[in-house]
């Protein structure tokens, strides 16, 4: 990763690395957690590598077959910090989706 990597200012965690998640992922309610590869919180990833989406987004993605205007419109991807990303992952992998 280059020293010029993007950073994001998180209101909870301060100056962190960026991650991208669908609008449905949050820190309160498990909604499923899908990512393109098994991420590790001990690794610093390139600017666009950390991304995840929920069960509902995965269903839409499966129906349309790829990330496109329809699936991206449903997901409405948002920027979060890497610590929030891994907190969301932990929440979703430790609890059953209701």
- Residue spans of the domains in the chain: they are 8-94
pLDDT single digits (tens) 1-17? 444 568 999 999 999 99
pLDDT single digits (tens) 14-44? 999 999 999 999 999 999 999 999 999 999 8
pLDDT of residue 29: 95
Mean pLDDT calculated for residue range 59-79:
97
d(CA 66, CA 58): 10
Q: Residue 14's Cα: distance from chain center in Å?
A: 18
The predicted model scores a pTM of: 0.88
Confidence of residue 46 (pLDDT cuts 50, 70, 90): confident
Q: Is the pLDDT of residue 47 over 90?
A: no
């Amino acid at each position: 990763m280059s020293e010029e990597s993007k950073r994001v200012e998180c209101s909870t965690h301060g100056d962190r690395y960026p991650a991208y998640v669908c609008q449905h992922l949050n820190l309160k309610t498990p909604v499923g957690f899908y990512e393109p590869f098994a991420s590790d919180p001990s690794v610093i990833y390139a600017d666009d590598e950390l991304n995840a989406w929920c069960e509902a987004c995965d269903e839409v993605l499966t129906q349309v077959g790829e990330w496109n205007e329809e699936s991206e419109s449903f997901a409405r991807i948002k920027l979060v910090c890497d610590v929030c990303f891994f907190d969301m992952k932990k929440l979703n992998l430790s609890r059953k989706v209701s």
